[in-house]
Structure 1
Amino acid sequence: MEIGISSFAETTRDPATGAMMEHPQRLREVVEEIVVAEQAGLDVYALGEHHRRDYAASAPAVVLAAGAARTERIRLSSAVTVLSSDDPVRVFQDFATLDGISGGRAEIIAGRGSFIESFPLFGYSLDDYDELFAEKLDLLLAIRASETVTWSGKHRPPISGLGVYPRPVQDPLPVWIGVGGSPGSVVRAGTLGLPLAVAIIGGMPEQFAPLVELYRSAAAEAGHDPAALPVAVHSHGFLAPTTQEAVDIHYPSTAMAMNTIGRERGWGTYDRTSYDAARSPRGALFAGSPAEVTEKLLLLHDNLGLDRFLLHVSVGTMAHRDVLQAIELLGTEVAPAVRAELARRAPAPAG
């Protein structure tokens, strides 16, 4: 199982001071996180796209390219690219460029996005939310499949026999589908034979097993080999040497961020009871000591049959030294323990 980090480059208010970090500082921190993640032995760094004051990364491919220039091995992905409000030609060009700079390490996780700011910003109607994603995914996959593209649709001018450049190192350039809990979205991913990334930030992860099974069934029904299609999970979490340290550091920023979003969306108050329930053994929050997070990751793997796990370390603004320590612990303690246990469980080769 690949293990990595995801981030939204948060610039939310500091829970202690109320100050908001400036975007340039946060972007430089993300590049340093990518470098530290590789040094710690992690497999992936994934960066989400947002278009609001409290997130710095509206152009993830640019930030990832800065990280690519300072690393050699770690895979670099969006998480997610809000494809519905973007131009698939430009998305492909951006990530093909990243792929060239990184020597074949770029990936796209395409999704509809859980925030809506990008739609009015780029002139799209939320009435077309589902239709936009389906159409633009179709174009992105057409560009991926052929250097010369002929395509027409409803929400973008047609393309008639034009080339799209540069072409990536990887053929094909990896495109995942990022989903929340929508059955229709997982069926689409399975039918198209695309890898699936599931965001699990609430409830019990085991409850998502039927969704993953639906994805694999849809893939098989469409003629794809489900065993060849990886499944990833993205969840919030944090690590420190001890559980108490992890909780003391992580809870204030998490509560600040979750309550800020909650007020926008009409959620109930996120308090310490909510936090402790989420970080219980069967909860969706992977916060605690390395041993605790290792145990939860192995349970998650058993329940969903995962190929990749992305830990979203910084929910809200946190001291950068604490975030870097969490990344190092995930890479140097949790990942080796998980890999060793999964290798121990693997069946012996036949013969």
Structure 2
Amino acid sequence: MTTAAIGSAQGEIEFGLNSFGEIATDPSGRVLSDAETVRLIIEEAELAEPVGVDSFSIGEHYRTEMMDSANQVILAAIAGRTERIRLGTSVTVLSTQDPVRLYAEAATLDAASNGRAQLILGRASSPESFPLFGFDMADYETLFEEKLDLFVKLLRDQPVSWSGTVRSALTEQYVKPAIEPGAIPTWVGVGGSPQSVVRAARYGLPLMLAIIGGRPSRFAPLVDLYRRALGELGHPALPVGEHSLGLLAATDDEARETHWPYWRRTMEKIGRERGFHPPTRSSYDADVRTGALFVGSPQSVAPRIADAIRDLGLSRFDLKYDILHLPADLRARSIELYGREVIPRVRELLAVQPEPGEVIGHV
């Protein structure tokens, strides 16, 4: 499977932005409507292209505060207003999608964007799509495994013959529009499950790590497992990426004081739903200093991203920049700082080979 970026030691790193379509506010504090938020995402992708961001990806959720459920439709709108930036999903919930329809949509987006489409496939960390589309969470593993098998076949070798338990069989079936085998970079997103890592290796697909807390380096054993599995299965080396959250501002204090109230409210809500304790300010500050929250000034955030890329041997780094009710102007400023200041600085830091034991970029 081809991909846009091959290994931090072998080629250019891809730097992307992720949106989950979270509803924003205007500078006065007015909550934007659902439609205004969809249009805002399109405008933000337009902004990301000229400031130097390589890719723009949109999630798939079915929550009242997230407007990303029809992500391929939004990406198609972005395709008509941009020329270079790659357009992808920061997650496609394959378990509750039909692989044939997904292939047709992705291939159509690829044609409309002149070859800029890419995908990240996931099992879903939130369960809302299962009852919405009539699926049983008890079939969580079977749904993803079988649908991934069919989708990979559609991407790689048509006509397709396939049979399984989760949908009707296909016999010598072509699905249009046609693409070259492997033309749409397709990653498997994982949150920390070794079984998911090995599955990605088994299908010969790049690995995207969703790292939202703790030190990114703690995922190194999973990366090692993935690379060992690729070798044992006879696959070539494939890219590894990281998806993490953050916010850029002129100073560290401004970024943290801006981001913390929104982060606290978001995590308190998720905590109530899933039964875990919300973050304290001290745990938040620890994740900002050394963990997977990339919140701060460009001068502070860039070295931490460079460290994560080195520690895990990444080929791609995606920053999720939106969070519920964050004002649109602060979202735009974060995008600009990421593209104009953070990405160039990370590239500079990665071009310097540190001596053993040396830390590059930190004061």
User: What is the letter of the counterpart of residue 319 of structure 1?
Assistant: P
Cα shift at 1:247: 1.2
Identify the residue that residue 283 of structure 1 maps to in structure 2: 291
Question: Residues 13-28 of structure 1: matches in 2 within 5 Å?
Answer: 20-28=31-39
User: Is 2:312 the counterpart of 1:300?
Assistant: no
Q: Give 1:140's match in structure 2, choosing from 120, 144, 151.
A: 151
Identify the residue that residue 241 of structure 2 maps to in structure 1: 232
User: What is the letter of the counterpart of residue 264 of structure 1?
Assistant: E
User: Is 2:48 the counterpart of 1:43?
Assistant: no
Identify the residue that residue 175 of structure 1 maps to in structure 2: 186
Partner Cα separation in structure 2 for residue 170 and residue 151 of structure 1? 17
Question: What TM-score does the superposition give when structure 2 sets the normalisation length?
Answer: 0.90
Show structure 1 runs of 5+ residues with no match. 347-351
Q: Give 1:29's match in structure 2, choosing from 37, 40, 43.
A: 40
User: What is the letter of the counterpart of residue 336 of structure 2?
Assistant: E
Cα shift at 1:169: 6.4
Listed one character per residue, the Cα deviations across residues 36-78 of structure 1 (whole Å, up to 9, x for unaligned) are 1111101111110001211111111110111111111111111
Question: Residues 68-87 of structure 1: matches in 2 within 5 Å?
Answer: 68-87=79-98
Cα shift at 1:22: 2.0
User: Is 2:137 the counterpart of 1:130?
Assistant: no
Q: Secondary structure at the match of 2:246?
A: strand
Q: Secondary structure at the match of 2:49?
A: helix
The answer to whether the 8 Å contact 1:7/1:46 transfers is yes
Identify the residue that residue 337 of structure 1 maps to in structure 2: 345
Identify the residue that residue 247 of structure 1 maps to in structure 2: 256
User: Is 2:277 the counterpart of 1:265?
Assistant: no
User: Is 2:20 the counterpart of 1:11?
Assistant: no
Cα shift at 1:13: 8.9
Partner Cα separation in structure 2 for residue 246 and residue 84 of structure 1? 36
Identify the residue that residue 223 of structure 1 maps to in structure 2: 234
Q: Give 2:161's match in structure 1, choosing from 147, 150, 157.
A: 150
User: Is 2:64 the counterpart of 1:56?
Assistant: no
Identify the residue that residue 113 of structure 2 maps to in structure 1: 102
Question: What TM-score does the superposition give when structure 1 sets the normalisation length?
Answer: 0.93
Cα shift at 1:171: 4.0
The answer to whether the 8 Å contact 1:76/1:106 transfers is yes
Cα shift at 1:334: 0.8
Partner Cα separation in structure 1 for residue 266 and residue 54 of structure 2? 27
Identify the residue that residue 102 of structure 2 maps to in structure 1: 91
Partner Cα separation in structure 1 for residue 97 and residue 80 of structure 2? 25
User: What is the letter of the counterpart of residue 310 of structure 2?
Assistant: D
Listed one character per residue, the Cα deviations across residues 235-272 of structure 1 (whole Å, up to 9, x for unaligned) are 01110011111112211111111111111001112232
Q: Secondary structure at the match of 2:243?
A: strand
Identify the residue that residue 5 of structure 2 maps to in structure 1: none
Cα shift at 1:224: 1.1
Cα shift at 1:307: 0.6
User: Is 2:27 the counterpart of 1:2?
Assistant: no
- Note closer, same or farther for the CA distance 1:144–1:307 as it changes in structure 2 (3 Å cut): same
User: What is the letter of the counterpart of residue 216 of structure 2?
Assistant: P
- Note closer, same or farther for the CA distance 1:267–1:21 as it changes in structure 2 (3 Å cut): farther
User: What is the letter of the counterpart of residue 192 of structure 2?
Assistant: G
Cα shift at 1:170: 7.2
- How many pairs does the alignment contain? 342
- After superposition, the CA RMSD in angstroms is 1.8
Show structure 2 runs of 5+ residues with no match. 1-12, 355-363
User: What is the letter of the counterpart of residue 132 of structure 1?
Assistant: L
Q: Secondary structure at the match of 1:345?
A: coil
